[in-house]
Amino acid sequence: MANLLPIYYQVKQTIRNWIINREYNPGDKIPSENELADNFKVSRLTVRQAISQLIQEGFLVTKRGEGTFVTGDKKLINSFGLEFVGPLDGLFYQVSKPITKSAIIKKMAAPRLIKEKLELDKDDEEIVQIKRVRFLEKKPFSYTINFLPTRIGKAIEKRELYKKPLLQIIQQDLGIRLSEALQTIEASFSDQEVSEKLGVVSGSPILFTERIMYDQKRKPIVLSQSSYRGDSYQYIVRLKNIRGKEGSMWVHDTK
């Protein structure tokens, strides 16, 4: 297992893939800690840590005196194995409808960096912050913090956030047409707040994105910072090799 990821995490991901790929079906008993330790050539403590996280995430259940078994919840297993194929937006607007189960809106003093990114005037001392946790099936998959200028944020009603995406509210309900976005994507680790919201152990791998949406006048309308569970995604992009005079390059194949 020559890899930069922690060994326990590599063990965990391998067992997780066994379950998703149905090498072990719902209700099946998995090998004992000793057998897994021998199989992976690691210590029992490492295996125990991997198993513990899989139990916490819902993949496995323990039965006292009997052993450890794959969960019998097929829908839950399927939700862990979601794949997104196509343009990058497929990662954020899933075919399976995400459900918002927690939404908080508050007015707050504008941090300097947020103020700069939203290009607010010097006199704009406050912004509106929206925090949401969204679920796929029974599992939390994203925790998003949105920052909006007060003039826009004050028009958003909390109850609407449980019915439809924020961008839909901004465009359809508020009549603001969005024209472009600046987005960054990076691999990161969950802090205490993100871990609590996503139901993962602190320090777990996450996919972090930041997106600034602009209106037709190229004025920033909303800054979104989202943390996605690292164990929930397998994003697949089809690439095509294009050859030219100066060599070849790989490009995104949209067909």
**Would residue 252 count as lying in a domain?**
no
pLDDT in tens, 162-219: 988 898 899 989 999 988 899 888 889 999 999 999 998 888 889 899 999 999 999 9
Total number of domains constituting the chain? 2
- pLDDT tier at 122, thresholds 50, 70, 90: confident
The segment with the largest mean pLDDT, out of 77-91, 95-109, 213-227, is: 213-227
CATH of the domain at 178: 3.40.1410.10
pLDDT the model gives residue 230: 79
Q: Cα–Cα distance between 107 and 155 in angstroms, integer?
A: 12
Q: Which residues of 42-75 are buried (b: 16+ CB within 10 A; e: fewer)?
A: beeebbebbbebbeebbbbeeeeeeebbbbebee
CB 57 within 8 A of CB 48: no
How far apart CA 107 and CA 154 sit, in angstroms, is 8
Instruction: Name the average pLDDT for the chain.
Output: 84
Q: Are 168 and 210 part of one and the same domain? A: yes
Whether 197 maps to a domain, the answer reads: yes
Domain co-membership, 226 together with 133: yes
- Residue 139 — pLDDT band, cuts 50, 70, 90? confident
Mean pLDDT in residue range 81-106: 61
How many C-beta neighbours within 10 Å does residue 251 have? 10
pLDDT on residue 155: 95
